[in-house]
Amino acid sequence: MKKPFLRAGPDRTQAVRRWFQLAFLALNIWIGVGFYLWVRYYETAGQSGIAQRPPGVEGWLPIASLMNLKVWFYTGGLPSIHPAGVFLLIAFLLISWVLRKSFCSWLCPVGTFSQYLATLGRRLFRKNFVLPRWLDIPLRSLKYILMALFLYVIAAMSVNQILAFLGGPYGVVSDVKMLNFFRTLTLSGVAVLAFLIAASLFVQNFWCRYLCPYGGLLGLLALASPLKIKRDAALCIDCGKCARACPSALKVDHW
C-alpha cells in the first residue's frame, strides 16, 4: 500500500539560490578587477589610469577583520586599517546565526566555484564520491583545527600587538599581499590549487567540507541559530532523493 502524501507546489528555491550565487560571484569578480586596477595605478605611478580601492576586498581578510573586531571590542574604537572588513565579518556572522550556513551555500564565491566543479565532476565521472566515514570524520576536523589555531593566535595577542601588526609594513598591505599570491604563484602554490580543484571534482565541496576555517567558525555559530530546516513528513514520499542530492552528505530523509 502506497503511503498517502500531499503534493507540494513548485519549488524555485534552487533557482533563486543559483541567481544569488552568480550575482555574488560577479560582485566579487568586479571587486577583484577594481582592486587590481587600483594596485596597478600605484605600481605604474598613475600611468594606468584612475582607480579607486573597493572596500569590499576586505571581506577576503577574515583574520585581519577578527583582529580589528577584538580591538573594537576592547577599546571601543575602530582601527583605521581595513575597517570595512569588520562590518562584513559582523554581517556574515549575523547571517550565519540567523540563517545558519546560508552564507556558505548562497553567498560565498569559493563555495559557488566548488559547487560547479562538483557538477563538472559528475558530468565527467557520472558521480561524485563520498569518502568513507573513517576518513571523512578526521578530515572534517582539519578546518576546526585551523580555526582554533587562528583564534588562539588572535586571543593571545594584546591590543597593542594587534595595532602594531596591522599598522606595520605587512598589515597595511595585507590585501595587496593576498593579490600578489595569485599574481606570482609559485610551483607549490600551483600544486596546492591544482590538488584542491582536482579534489573538488571528485568530492563535492572538498575545501568547504574539510579545510575552510571560516566555514568552521560560521558553522559553530549556526548551531545557536533559532531556525532549523526540517523535513515535512506530510510531503515526504520516502524516495531518499534529498539525501542523495545533499552536498553535505546528510541523511535528510531520516530527520
pLDDT tens per residue across all 255 residues of the chain: 555 656 666 778 889 999 999 999 999 999 999 999 999 999 998 888 778 899 999 999 999 999 999 999 999 998 889 999 999 999 999 999 999 989 999 999 999 999 999 999 999 998 888 899 899 999 999 999 999 999 999 999 999 999 999 999 999 999 999 999 999 999 999 999 999 999 999 999 999 999 999 999 999 999 999 888 777 777 777 787 777 777 667 777 776
Longest dimension (CA), the chain: 78
Statement: the pTM of the whole predicted model exceeds 0.85: yes
Calculate the alpha carbon distances from 205 to 76, 112, 128, 208, 218 in Å: 38, 9, 10, 5, 16
Calculate the alpha carbon distances from 50 to 10, 16, 53, 69, 121 in Å: 49, 36, 10, 32, 41
pLDDT value of residue 48: 80
Q: Grid coordinates representing 22?
A: 552568480
Contact 88, 56 (CB under 8 A): yes
Which helix or strand (DSSP H or E) is residue 161 part of? helix 159-166
In angstroms, the CA 235 to CA 240 distance is: 13
pLDDT value of residue 109: 95
Written as one string, the DSSP assignment of 172-223 is HTHHHHHHHHHHT--HHHHHHHHHHHHHHHHSTTHHHHHT-HHHHHHHHHHT
pLDDT value of residue 244: 75
Residue 165: other Cβ atoms inside 10 A: 16
